[in-house]
Amino acid sequence: MAIVKPFKAIRPNETLASKVAALPYDVMNSEEARDMVKDNPYSFLHVDKAEVDLDSSIDIYDKKVYGKARENLDNMIKEGTFIQDEKPCLYVYRQIMDGRVQTGLVVCASIDDYMTDVIKKHEHTRAEKEQDRINHVDYCDANTGPIFLTYRDNEEISTSIKHWADNHKPVYDFTSDDGISHIVWVVDDEVTVNRLCFLFGEVDYLYIADGHHRAASAVKVGKKRREEKKDYDGKEEFNYFLSVIFADEDLYVMDYNRVVKDLNGNSTEEFFNKVKEKFNVEEHGIEGKQFSPCEKRTFGMFLDGKWYKLSAKDGIFDENDPVDRLDVSILQNNLLHPILGIEDPRKDKRIDFIGGIRGLNELERRCKEDMKIAFSMYATTIDDLMDIADAGRVMPPKSTWFEPKLRSGLFIHRLS
C-alpha cells in the first residue's frame, strides 16, 4: 500500500510564482536555459540549471554548478522569493492546457515504496544522469523537481481533491508563456490531510509517469543519508521525495515521433521493397497532406516530400507481450533496426526523437534540413505504461511524451 505524507513546502511568494515557475531542467540545454533566464532573476532555472550563472565554458557536471545551485536557492529564500509553510501540508496542483484539465496532489512519497516496487517503474536509468541529480539534491539538501506519479483512478481520492479545490481559494493562479494555466491550493486542514493520506494508503501501486532519474537519485540520496545517520527512525525528511500524483484518467500522453538521417545505404526502391515485407504501404498524398495515426499499429512515414500510411502486418509482433506489441517496438523491431540499421536508439546519432507537442510540421522541417525520413506515431497509452510496469518490464526509449510538463520551483522539499 502506498505511503504519502504532507510536508512543509518551500514555495514562491504569491506575487512571484509565475516568474519562479520553470520547465523541468531536462527539457532544454544550457544555451536555451541561459536565454530563458536572461531577463528573469527569479526563474527557478537559476537553481535547477545553475550553470546559467557561470561561465559558458564550464562542464555542467562540475561541482561548482551544484555549489552555485545551493547558493542561489539560499539567496532566493533569504531575499523572500520563497516562503515556507509553518506546518506540514498537502497541495493541489491543477494544469489546464487547451481546455483539458489535470489535477494532482503534491505529496512526499516513500523511498521504501520505491525500493519495494510499490512505486513501479517502466524505464532504465543512466548512471551519469542519476549522478547529476544525486549531486544536485545532496548539495541543495532538497528535492527541487517533483516526480510525476500516477495511479489507477480512485473516485474517493478524486472527489476529495476536487471538493477542496472547489471550496477554497488558490494561492497561485497564473498562465505560463506557453498558454498553460497553473493553479495551486494549499491543503492545510489536518482532517483532510489525514483523510487523503489514508485513501492513498489503500492504493496498491503508484507508477512513475515521468522523472525516473529524479526518483532514482532522490532514493539514493535518502539511502546515503541513512548510512550517515545510523540511528535514523524513518521519519526524517530524507526518507521521502517530492512527488505530484495524478489519476490515470487525467493524463494525456502525446505521440513521440522519429526522424532518421539516411536510408542506411538502401535506394528508395530497395527501402520500400523491404518495408513492404512487414507493413502495408499506402501513399497518403503530396507534400502538405500529413498523416497522423489515429489507431494502434499504424504509422505515418514522410519521405521525399510525400506522406505514407504504414500498417503493421499480422504476425510481426507478439500480441500477448506488453512490450513487443507497443507501436514503438513494432517500428523499432521491424523497420528501424533491420532496415535502417538503428540497433540502439539510445546511442545512435542517426536517429532523433521529436515530441508530439511540436507537431508534424517539425518532422517535415527536419527532413528538409538534416534528416532523410520521418515517422509519426500513435501515442502510447497510460494502460500500456501500467501493463509494462506491472509485468516488471521496461519500455523502449522515447515511448511517452507527457503534456503539460510539471513546473519546477512551485514546491521544494527540504531533506533536513
Each domain of the chain, given as residue ranges in start order, spans: 4-252+403-414, 256-378
Q: How far apart are CA 105 and CA 196, in angstroms?
A: 9
Provide mean pLDDT across the span 91-106: 97
What pLDDT does 288 receive? 64
**50-92 per-position pLDDT tens digit:** 999 999 999 999 999 999 999 999 999 999 999 999 999 999 9
**231-241 per-position pLDDT tens digit:** 999 999 999 99
What pLDDT does 414 receive? 98
Q: 157: closest CA among 201, 207, 108?
A: 201
CA angle 247, 211, 405 (to 5 degrees): 65
Q: 110: closest CA among 200, 16, 219, 250?
A: 219
Residue whose entry in the numeric block shows the C-alpha cell 540502439: 344
398 HSE (CA, 13 A, CB side): 19
**9-20 per-position pLDDT tens digit:** 999 999 999 999
CB 340 within 8 A of CB 258: no
**332-368 per-position pLDDT tens digit:** 999 999 999 999 998 899 999 999 999 999 999 999 9
Q: How confident is the model at residue 287 (pLDDT cuts 50, 70, 90)?
A: low
Q: How confident is the model at residue 271 (pLDDT cuts 50, 70, 90)?
A: very high
CATH architecture under which domain 256-378 falls: 2-Layer Sandwich (3.30)
Q: How far apart are CA 130 and CA 134, in angstroms?
A: 6
Q: Which of 153-167, 278-292, 339-353 is predicted least confidently?
A: 278-292
Q: Is 90 exceeded by the pLDDT of residue 289?
A: no
Residues forming a β-bridge with 246: 104, 150
What pLDDT does 27 receive? 87
Q: Quick one: angle between helices 212-228 and 127-140, nearest 10?
A: 60
Report the percentage of the chain scoring pLDDT > 70. 99
